[in-house]
Amino acid sequence: MPIDLKESTGFLYLGASPYTDKTNYSVKVPYPDMGSAPFTTSRLVDSARNAQGTMVGRMVGRSIDKQEMGWSVISCQLWWEMNRWFENGHFTFYCHYFNFNTGRWLTRLMYLSDVKVSPGLVENETGEPVFLRDAGFSVVDCGVV
């Protein structure tokens, strides 16, 4: 079975400035595999129960977004390029992404979380992978207003 490494980029745009967008970015992230990109929004709530047992609460801050991404097969070059950028001082970064809850593109300060990858076919002479399998990472909103 042939391995298809045609990577369509433009799912997320990462950069070092709040002006990161589709035309001004450092890294253009490829589209994840179908079904491998859950988008999660969490809300911090300060709540308690009153004397009648009714929940009384309010949201603290704003909604926090998390975008998970996964690729069953990805080229070593693209994977290494993205991860070298993270390793070269970009633990936090600006991410231009589509918010699937509101239907708008946003740019927010985020951090990298949950990086994983498995080697695909390994070249016998060099011991390096020819491609990578089951790669994935998450970007998580820092919550900065």
CA dist 139 and 67 (Å) reads 5
pLDDT in tens, the chain (145 residues): 334 445 677 899 999 999 999 999 999 999 999 999 999 999 988 889 999 999 998 988 899 999 999 999 999 999 999 999 999 999 999 999 999 999 999 999 999 999 999 998 888 888 889 999 999 999 999 998 7
CA dist 77 and 85 (Å) reads 12
**Whole-model pTM?**
0.84
- 24 contact partners, CB below 8 Å, separation of at least 6: 15, 17
Of 91, 89, 97, 95, the closest CA to residue 39 belongs to 97
Of 134, 25, 81, the closest CA to residue 10 belongs to 25
Q: Are 94 and 110 in contact (CB under 8 A)?
A: yes
30 has which bridge partners?
A: 9
